[in-house]
């Protein structure tokens, strides 16, 4: 049997006028309503970066590893100005090193800079993050408990995925995998299905390997992952990295937005990062800087 207070609250979430008839107005209920209004009438602001590939080594092709430090400093100034609620790093924070000790130094160097920008940070595992290191070592280095999980901010649901698993379900780590063999294992897929089933909020997904292509940059079982996302009816967009270039695909009513890599190209004119605002009604605006494209999608 429902508590009358619960009934009133649930009715308010659907139609404020019905609440007046369904429950008495008390000071505590007024405070609850105001809290809810304050929460849902404010956009969530997110700072986004991907594929920094930091390493203290000479450039290779179009990748300028050491320059990531200066590029991140430029992004930091923008983030400080825009004051995002949290930051998301979409994978490949570091490039592979020849030894664990060197790789951990790379991680400490770049994460010290990144962590100073904002207290609320989220790291998506990229294949380079867990090439030399194990997942446990990388996560310990950035002080994040899990490689896949979800959280809520201001009425929006966010999901971080981990596709750094081989086809046989074994996790990447210590050069035991190939970057083209990216998968979301059955256990994580079951978790994702359950997480979305228990959620009715507008939802944003963060990934590294792409969920929208069938080439080497794509997750091998991404049709199954996309089906789970589509079945929920709540997923607005997926943000991903890995292929280093701007790209956008709309599949099954979901935006799959691939962001530009910070490591690509030399000089400040080759940087890339963005600030995203997600409105309570599902409208998404992405302000891209330098090489990163800008987008706006209405609900």
Domain harbouring 241, CATH code = 3.60.21.10
- Residue 168: other Cβ atoms inside 10 A: 8
Same domain flag for 14 and 135: no
Same domain flag for 31 and 165: no
Same domain flag for 23 and 155: no
Can you tell me the mean pLDDT for 111-137? 98
Say whether pLDDT at 148 is over 60: yes
Instruction: Give residue 141's pLDDT band: very low, low, confident or very high (50, 70, 90).
Output: very high
Can you tell me the mean pLDDT for 184-193? 98
Helix (H, G, I), strand (E, B) or coil at 149: strand
- Is the distance from CB of 124 to CB of 90 less than 8 angstroms? yes
Please, what is the angle between helix 68-82 and helix 100-115, to 10°? 30
Can you tell me the mean pLDDT for 79-90? 98
Can you tell me the mean pLDDT for 27-50? 63
pLDDT by residue (tens digit) across 210-229? 999 999 999 999 999 999 99
Say whether pLDDT at 17 is over 80: no
Say whether pLDDT at 28 is over 70: no
Q: Which residues contact residue 291 at a Cβ distance below 8 angstroms, ignoring those fewer than 6 apart?
A: 246, 260, 264, 265, 270, 271, 272
Residue 42 has a pLDDT of 87
Say whether pLDDT at 13 is over 70: no
Residue 177 has a pLDDT of 94
Say whether pLDDT at 6 is over 70: no
Same domain flag for 10 and 90: no
d(CA 198, CA 141): 31
Residue 41 has a pLDDT of 54
Can you tell me the mean pLDDT for 4-20? 32
Can you tell me the mean pLDDT for 129-154? 98
Q: Which residues contact residue 60 at a Cβ distance below 8 angstroms, ignoring those fewer than 6 apart?
A: none
Residue 78 has a pLDDT of 98
Say whether pLDDT at 232 is over 50: yes
Structure tokens at 218: 């794509």
Beta-strand ranges (E) seen in the chain are 44-49, 86-89, 121-123, 149-153, 156-160, 203-206, 235-240, 247-251, 254-258, 272-278, 284-290, 295-297
% of the chain beyond a pLDDT of 70:
86
Q: Who has greater pLDDT, 92 or 15?
A: 92
Can you tell me the mean pLDDT for 264-292? 97
Structure tokens at 85: 């609620």
- Averaged pLDDT score across all residues of the chain: 89
DSSP label of 258: E
- Is the distance from CB of 22 to CB of 8 less than 8 angstroms? yes
82-117 b/e with 16+ CB inside 10 Å = b? eebbbbbbbbbbbbbbeeeeebbebbebbbebbeeb
Same domain flag for 102 and 241: yes
Residues in a beta bridge with 258: 240, 247
Same domain flag for 106 and 195: yes
Same domain flag for 151 and 275: yes
Same domain flag for 132 and 49: yes
Residue 22 has a pLDDT of 34
Same domain flag for 14 and 50: no
Helix (H, G, I), strand (E, B) or coil at 24: coil
Same domain flag for 23 and 70: no
Residue 299 has a pLDDT of 77
Same domain flag for 227 and 81: yes
Backbone phi and psi for residue 153, each to the nearest 5 degrees, phi listed first: -140, 120
- Is the distance from CB of 165 to CB of 183 less than 8 angstroms? yes
Count of domains for the chain: 2
- Is the distance from CB of 8 to CB of 29 less than 8 angstroms? yes
Q: Who has greater pLDDT, 22 or 55?
A: 55
Can you tell me the mean pLDDT for 240-252? 97
Say whether pLDDT at 152 is over 50: yes
Q: Which residue has the tokens 């100034």?
A: 77
Can you tell me the mean pLDDT for 6-27? 34
Same domain flag for 9 and 93: no
Q: Who has greater pLDDT, 91 or 32?
A: 91
Query: In terms of residue numbers, what domain contains 95?
Result: 42-297
């Amino acid at each position: 049997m429902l508590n009358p207070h619960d009934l009133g609250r649930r009715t308010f979430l659907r139609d404020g006028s019905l609440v007046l008839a369904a429950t008495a107005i008390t000071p505590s209920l007024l405070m609850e309503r105001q809290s809810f209004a304050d929460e849902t009438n404010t956009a969530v602001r997110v700072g986004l970066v991907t594929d920094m590939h930091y390493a203290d080594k000479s450039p290779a092709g179009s990748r300028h590893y050491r320059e990531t430090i200066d590029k991140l400093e430029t992004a930091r100034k923008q983030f400080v100005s825009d004051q995002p609620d949290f930051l998301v790093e979409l994978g490949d924070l570091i490039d592979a090193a020849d030894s664990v000790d060197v790789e951990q130094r790379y991680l400490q160097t770049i994460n010290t800079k990144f962590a100073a920008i904002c207290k609320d940070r989220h790291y998506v595992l990229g294949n380079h993050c867990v090439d030399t290191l194990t997942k446990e070592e990388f996560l310990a280095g950035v002080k994040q408990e899990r490689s896949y999980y979800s959280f809520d901010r201001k009425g929006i649901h966010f999901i971080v995925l981990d596709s750094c698993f081989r086809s046989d379900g074994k996790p990447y780590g210590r050069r035991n995998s190939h970057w083209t063999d990216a998968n979301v294992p059955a256990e994580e897929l079951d978790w994702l299905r359950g997480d979305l089933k228990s959620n009715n909020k507008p939802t944003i997904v963060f990934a590294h390997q792409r969920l929208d292509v069938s080439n080497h940059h794509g997750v091998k079982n991404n049709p199954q992952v996309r089906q789970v996302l589509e079945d929920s009816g709540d997923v607005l967009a997926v943000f991903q990295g890995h292929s280093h270039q701007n790209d956008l695909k709309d599949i099954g009513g979901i935006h799959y937005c691939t962001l530009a890599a910070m490591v690509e190209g030399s000089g400040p004119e080759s940087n890339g990062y963005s600030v995203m605002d997600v409105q309570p009604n599902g409208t998404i605006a992405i302000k891209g800087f330098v090489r990163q494209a800008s987008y706006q999608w209405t609900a």
